[in-house]
Amino acid sequence: MNEDGSLVRLEAIHKWFGALHVLKGIDFAIEPGQVVTIVGPSGSGKSTLLRTINMLEEPTEGKVFFDGREITDIRTDLNKVRTEMGIVFQAFNLFPHKSAVDNITMALEKVLKVASGEAKKRAMEQLEKVGVAEKADAYPEQLSGGQQQRVAIARALAMKPKLILFDEVTSALDPELIKEVLDAIKKLAEEGMTMAIVTHEMGFAREVGTRALFMDDGVIIEDGAPEDIFSNPSDERTRSFLSHVL
């Protein structure tokens, strides 16, 4: 935890891609146990914001604190920090040359130095949890999109992270496969996992989130309880966005 009791704190984050100003001064914190859903139009900087939290995108300006450390400090061991913080991607990004179970054991063995038998046991527990244990020995190309994404969630969970980031994890899925992935995330929320979820599924964002952010044009416009933001948005831009997507 950080000094103020939060798990993650972002201070005055700016991100430039060349001449493009993507994040324009982001300040916010995630408390332990919170499920923060981040919604907003495409190009508003949601994914970039999420990726700055685990430093896959290095902010141009500003500071990121995670669990008592400033991870934007160049001396911080990012590899260590990232083992405590999982991320699940839109494109799954499973390792195609490894079976489902080996996708999970790879980092356990090579990074956390867990013994092979123990790593396998942990991997199977997580596959069980997301309901794809019977596909443990299948390669990613032999799995449906929904199964691949659940394996990716299991891969993040197996590291026993303090926080999991979800980056539009259902956007690449066929409609009939979305529910199985959302159900897996919902289960995590019920167990009290701290999560930040960028999503286009408004119903899901409202249902699973304990807190919602609305972003537009690189800034956070609204931050509050999901029911307030989705039923009673105070900002004109939020109202306009929601009227288009709901």
Q: By the 8 A CB rule, do 196 and 30 touch?
A: yes
Closest CB to another protein among 96 and 203? 96
- Confirm or reject binding of residue 97 to another protein (CB under 8 A): yes
- Confirm or reject binding of residue 135 to another protein (CB under 8 A): no
- Nearest CA-CA partner of 4 in 37, 23, 28: 28
For 145, counting Cβ atoms within 10 Å of its Cβ (0-12 exposed, 13-18 middle, 19+ buried), the class is middle
- Confirm or reject binding of residue 56 to another protein (CB under 8 A): yes
DSSP helix/strand/coil, 166: strand
Residues 6 or more apart whose Cβ sits within 8 Å of residue 161: 83, 84, 85, 86
- Confirm or reject binding of residue 121 to another protein (CB under 8 A): no
DSSP 82-119: HHTEEEE-TT----TTS-HHHHHHHHHHHTS---HHHH
Question: What are the φ and ψ backbone dihedral angles of 210, each rounded to 5 degrees?
Answer: -95, -10
Closest CB to another protein among 108 and 220? 108
Return the residue matching tokens 């929601």: 242
Closest CB to another protein among 27 and 137? 137
Residue 63 beta carbon to another protein: minimum distance, rounded to whole angstroms:
20
- Region binding another protein by CB under 8 A among candidate stretches 33-41, 63-71, 84-92, 118-126: 84-92
Tell which one of 34, 54, 126, 149 touches another protein (CB under 8 A): 54
- Region binding another protein by CB under 8 A among candidate stretches 10-18, 35-43, 87-95, 126-134: 87-95
Residues engaged in binding another protein (CB under 8 A): 54, 56, 79-80, 82-83, 85-87, 89, 91, 93-97, 106-107, 110-112, 139, 141, 152, 155-156, 159
